[in-house]
Structure 1
Amino acid sequence: MLVTITLDSPVGSEINAMDLSHLLRKHPEKVQSFDLPVGTAHVFYPHRTEDRTTAALLLQIDPINLVRSKRFRGDSGILDYYVNDRPYTASSLTAVAIGKVFRSAMTGVSVSRPELASTALPLTISIPVISTRDARGIDLVRRLFAPLGWNIEQDPIALDSDFPQWGDSQYSSLVLRGTERLDVALRQLYVLLPVLDDSKHYWVNDDETQKLARQGQGWLEEHPERELITRRYLVHQQPLVALAEAQYSASGQSADTQEPAGSDDNATADVPLRVQRAQSVLKVLKDRGAQRVVDMGCGSGALLRRLQADPFFTRIVGTDVSARSLELAANTLHLDERSDAQQERITLLHSSAVYQDERLNGFDAIILMEVIEHLDLSRLPALEAAVFAANAPRSVVVTTPNAEYNDHYPGLEQGALRHDDHRFEWTRDQFQTWAHKAALEHSYVVSFEDIGPAATSVGAPTQMAIFYKEQA
């Protein structure tokens, strides 16, 4: 099993590509070998110049010893056979080797090159064989790596090159190109290679949730496929998946980011409300055929990242009144690392929902996801004039808390709002009264949907209004 990491020195840059060896803390002039429980790992440098340096990690696995060892029998059962793909394809075995051999590099600390360790570098990662165990393998690679800013080259491997009519195998070669800190890139590989393989060679327990949180810090929290990654990384063990999601939710600051108690809907109880909300909005946009969209009040870019990862959306604009939020959104989206075409597809604008901004005219949809409750009630007419009258998109999607549901949030005092910055929170009747009035005044039709697990008599935690113009 082979993984290569290449550092290129951009023209005019002061980066010396040979410093890759300092970041990896592996001597560049000799082959180094490391005995691991899964086999033997070798690190060497097949190419080393100031302009380009490549480090290679070669993992040699003894499949017979692996099968005979009870310690490394995974839940998938694939190691029950003496003939298997473990010596050849990237998997949890590769992740273990990365974690052991490059442990120091994964900390992001370098004594000899401290500034370089904290710098996003132009990297190329090549993996000759990855597993794509389901029919969505090509799409899965894109869903995992594209939101992280990687440019992807994936070539399916034929089942038998002498018989092309047999089609492709479940394996592909993969090349990732992008600009990222080396420690972050290594941690992403550590987590995502087992996710692609959808198998682990060792027993998974509660410790894995802590490992996932540690290695995913800084990039996994806002990944649009976080739920899929968590589920596959924890080998579909639902109690561990729920534990991991609880740890994510615990980092939230407001009641609205916590999961309500007393849910009557077990089908959605393990999916955080903020995720259900984003998924519901994206579904509405697709149902309405809205490919050119504005996320008004985008904050740090959580919804923008989901929009960015979906090629259905061809033009995306995020707006916010806070310049700091726009900076965070730019970092979330890795905009400075995107190609010219990608940067043209998504734009961040300093703008307010209550002021008319002609730059937002002509879009298919405007999204106000958890925005209106942050405005004083007296400012809502200005928002209506800006969004419904001036911008006049074909669709407007509005979500807001359902105040009737607040009693289901543990620790939220009677009559308190879910967030310190909320100016109001509406009941279902109040929200629908406002929405019907706005729709009537601006020639829209409006419908309503619940988001989240509904409770008897009080509805769901989030309410959504979908405004749309009827086709002529």
Structure 2
Amino acid sequence: MLLTISTTYQPATDLGYLLHKNPARLQSIEVAGGQAHVFYPEATAERCTAALLLDLDPIGLVRGRGGASGEGFALEQYVNDRPYVASSFLSAALSKAFGTAMNGTCKDKPGLPAQALPLAVKVAVVSAPGPDWPSRLFEPLGYEVDIETTPLDPTVPEWGDSRYYTLHLRHTGLRLQDVLTHLYVLLPVLDNDKHYYIGEHEAEKLLHRGGDWLPQHPERGFITRRYLRYLAAYVNPTLERLMEGEVSSVDSASPRMDEVESGSAEPVQQQVAESNDAMRGLAESTLQPKTSLHDQRLQQVAHEIYQLSPKRVLDLGCGEGKLLRLLLRQPKIEYILGMDVSHQALARAAQRLHLDEMPPRQRTRLDLIQGSLLYRDERLAGFDAAALVEVIEHLDPNRLAALEAVVFGQARPAHVFVTTPNADYNQLFEKLNAGEFRHDDHRFEWSRAEFAAWATAVAERHGYQVRLVGMGEEVAGVGAPSQMAVFMKKDA
């Protein structure tokens, strides 16, 4: 796959300073799956072109089990488009070859990275879900977009065009740093087949690289979902953080995304400040300000558990261990058990929590086990508190009776905390059409009345009292974005 960047800025050879690559020589870099070669087909004062040629080893991809080329049936491992199409491999190569330029630094000419340049980019070839998608992604960023179609077979024109295109982008004045960042994010979005593991670090990377422009992009939902491979655990919190950034951008003097997240910037007007405070504020003063709704839920559950001073706590559907990390900070908890049906999620939790590096005394406080909430499990008995954070909506409704029997009938923790989205609130999400769920993996989303009816019935059947709590900003008529039922055993 080949990417070229050209400029007619005078002197055009300043492109070499920006990219930190000498136009006079070929440079080769080891990257995931092969090698990247940087060279200059032309380098004059009038026009300069830098080329990045990515040479992937198809056999090496299979041996390394990289992405789609390492999965599936035997022939598919070797017959695929990975060595030829612009993808996450090219994005990673861009970061490694031009990382200094992408960060906007130039040692020899410090003022040059801020200079808007006339730039032309060619990518051969890109894969896209349709011929209109390159324009839908790049035109809102100010590019002039042209694509060259590729026929499935030139000898059989009636077969039509393939999904592969040569992409041409032109901009009359943009920082090179911005162009590289746009390519870094959007090329994997067009291709939608990542060769690396998608985790929280990828969500943070998207926010870091896209924080200045993605909140205002009309296709931000599509970009976020494709970049994070439709993984609900990361897509929704990332979109919420992007929306928070958009709320803060009502004025041209608004703080940047990173300033909003760190809490270092002053609000630009009182109305925005009050809105942000309401969105992020919870009744408990111990919660950190300016956090995503996802983190607010976790912190609110952790705070509720803290108030009980339990000794043994269950995290059912623990995922990658975010709540576990908060619970480990509570010294009164003597033992924590995290359970998830996914081995991969448990492996990521172990990595996130650095289990292999924990001091022995801390390590004895935590165990991770694989298991299902739909089957009786003696390991779940004898706990003071159990949390099911955004779990029930991922089950088919006809499976809820089995979950109820396991958690409330057999395990019977003294306290149970169940959170789930509030469907009444969905009408406030601009990009969510009527009848759609917030996540692709949700099997249902309940209104406040539906959740209250379920929680009340469960409590009555199993000898619990129940208290219903909103999570997030309360809006008249629709409630809060999420809702929680706090169950307490009557004989506790």
Cross-structure match for 1:97:
93
Cross-structure match for 1:16:
11
1:112 pairs with 104, 108, 113, which one?
108
- C-alpha distance in 2 between matches for 1:74 and 1:28: 34
Note if contact 1:88-1:129 (Cα within 8 Å) is conserved in structure 2: yes
- C-alpha distance 35-145 of structure 1, shift in aligned 2 (>3 A): same
- C-alpha distance in 1 between matches for 2:242 and 2:428: 9
2:429 pairs with 250, 268, 273, which one?
273
1:184 pairs with 178, 196, 217, which one?
178
Cross-structure match for 1:87:
83
Note if contact 1:89-1:129 (Cα within 8 Å) is conserved in structure 2: yes
Give the drift of 1:114.
2.1
Note if contact 2:214-2:242 (Cα within 8 Å) is conserved in structure 1: no
Note if contact 1:118-1:181 (Cα within 8 Å) is conserved in structure 2: yes
2:40 pairs with 13, 32, 45, which one?
45
Note if contact 1:6-1:52 (Cα within 8 Å) is conserved in structure 2: yes
- C-alpha distance 73-130 of structure 1, shift in aligned 2 (>3 A): closer
Cross-structure match for 2:139:
146
- C-alpha distance 65-76 of structure 1, shift in aligned 2 (>3 A): closer
- C-alpha distance in 2 between matches for 1:82 and 1:173: 24
Cross-structure match for 1:466:
none
Cross-structure match for 2:59:
64
Q: How does 1:39-438 map to 2 (within 5 A)?
A: 39-72=34-67, 80-132=76-128, 134=129, 137-178=130-171, 179-251=173-245, 252=248, 253=273, 254-255=275-276, 263-265=421-423, 273=429, 275=431, 410=472
Give the drift of 1:51.
1.3
Q: State TM-score, norm by structure 2.
A: 0.52
Give the drift of 1:247.
2.9
Q: Could you say what secondary structure the match of 2:132 adopts?
A: helix
Q: Could you say what secondary structure the match of 2:216 adopts?
A: coil
Q: Could you say what secondary structure the match of 1:218 adopts?
A: coil
Q: Which has the higher contact order (CA 8 A, sep 6+)?
A: 1
Please give the per-residue CA displacement for 1:286-317, whole angstroms capped at 9, x wherever unaligned: xxxxxxxxxxxxxxxxxxxxxxxxxxxxxxxx
Cross-structure match for 1:288:
none
- C-alpha distance in 1 between matches for 2:209 and 2:229: 17
- C-alpha distance in 2 between matches for 1:19 and 1:275: 42
- C-alpha distance 221-165 of structure 1, shift in aligned 2 (>3 A): same
- C-alpha distance in 2 between matches for 1:22 and 1:37: 25
Give the drift of 1:410.
3.5
Please give the per-residue CA displacement for 1:21-78, whole angstroms capped at 9, x wherever unaligned: 0000001101111111221110000011111100000000111110121354579859
- C-alpha distance in 1 between matches for 2:71 and 2:227: 13
Q: Over the residues paired in the alignment, what is the CA RMSD in angstroms?
A: 3.2
Note if contact 1:249-1:272 (Cα within 8 Å) is conserved in structure 2: no
| Structure 1 segments unaligned to the other structure (5+ residues) | 10-14, 281-406, 413-417, 419-426, 429-449, 456-472
- C-alpha distance in 1 between matches for 2:53 and 2:428: 39
- C-alpha distance in 2 between matches for 1:159 and 1:452: 51
Please give the per-residue CA displacement for 1:405-457, whole angstroms capped at 9, x wherever unaligned: xx967367xxxxx9xxxxxxxx78xxxxxxxxxxxxxxxxxxxxx999899xx
Please give the per-residue CA displacement for 1:323-371, whole angstroms capped at 9, x wherever unaligned: xxxxxxxxxxxxxxxxxxxxxxxxxxxxxxxxxxxxxxxxxxxxxxxxx
- C-alpha distance in 1 between matches for 2:183 and 2:58: 23
Note if contact 1:5-1:56 (Cα within 8 Å) is conserved in structure 2: yes
- C-alpha distance 112-212 of structure 1, shift in aligned 2 (>3 A): same
Amino acid at match of 2:42: H
**Residue-pair matches, total:** 283
Give the drift of 1:115.
2.0
Give the drift of 1:18.
0.6
Amino acid at match of 1:85: D
Note if contact 1:67-1:73 (Cα within 8 Å) is conserved in structure 2: no
| Structure 2 segments unaligned to the other structure (5+ residues) | 249-272, 281-292, 298-419, 435-468, 484-492
Amino acid at match of 2:41: P
- C-alpha distance in 2 between matches for 1:128 and 1:148: 20
Amino acid at match of 1:177: R
Amino acid at match of 1:67: V
Give the drift of 1:232.
0.2
Note if contact 2:471-2:481 (Cα within 8 Å) is conserved in structure 1: no
The sequence identity of aligned pairs, in percent, is 40
Give the drift of 1:257.
6.0
Q: Could you say what secondary structure the match of 2:197 adopts?
A: coil
Please give the per-residue CA displacement for 1:358-394, whole angstroms capped at 9, x wherever unaligned: xxxxxxxxxxxxxxxxxxxxxxxxxxxxxxxxxxxxx
